[in-house]
Amino acid sequence: MIFDHKITTHKRQEMLDITQIVADDIASGKLVNGLCVIFITHTTAAVTINENADPDVTRDMLKKFRQLVPEGDGYRHLEGNSDAHILSTLIGCSLSIPVVNGQMVLGTWQGIYFVELDGPRQRHCKVKLLKG
């Protein structure tokens, strides 16, 4: 079973907590034990796991992303979004999360984030549940 979620972003770079969306998929798919795979079908977006208790963490991460790979740094790609392509590769486009007793195996402070790197846009996030 694959769930396809439309995600609307509002800024050029932002991190959206999608933990509850994925948890709802696991419940809807009745996955008790197995693996949840999250895949982003874009080359200028990503997915990651990080702290979801303090919003300053995502603000700090986005600030550092801009410092590490600045927009308009003499890239040759004509669309002007090479920074987003580079960051997407560095962050990654997929995650695999174990599911035990119907719950994702995440740490106390961990959440799943859709990372927009070239928005605002309408995006897609795929969630595949594997029974095991």
Q: What CATH code is carried by the domain that includes residue 104?
A: 2.60.120.460
pLDDT tens, position by position, 70-81:
998 899 897 889
CB 89 within 8 A of CB 42: no
Q: Whole-angstrom Cα distance, residue 128 to residue 130?
A: 7
Report the C-alpha gap between 120 and 94 in whole angstroms: 21
Give the whole-angstrom CA distance, residue 27 versus residue 9.
25
Q: Is the pLDDT of residue 1 over 80?
A: no
pLDDT digits 0-9 by tens, 87-128? 999 999 999 999 999 999 999 999 999 999 999 999 999 999
Range of the domain at 122: 2-131
Q: Give the total number of structural domains in the chain.
A: 1
% residues pLDDT > 70 (the chain): 100
Contact between 85 and 77 (Cβ < 8 Å): yes
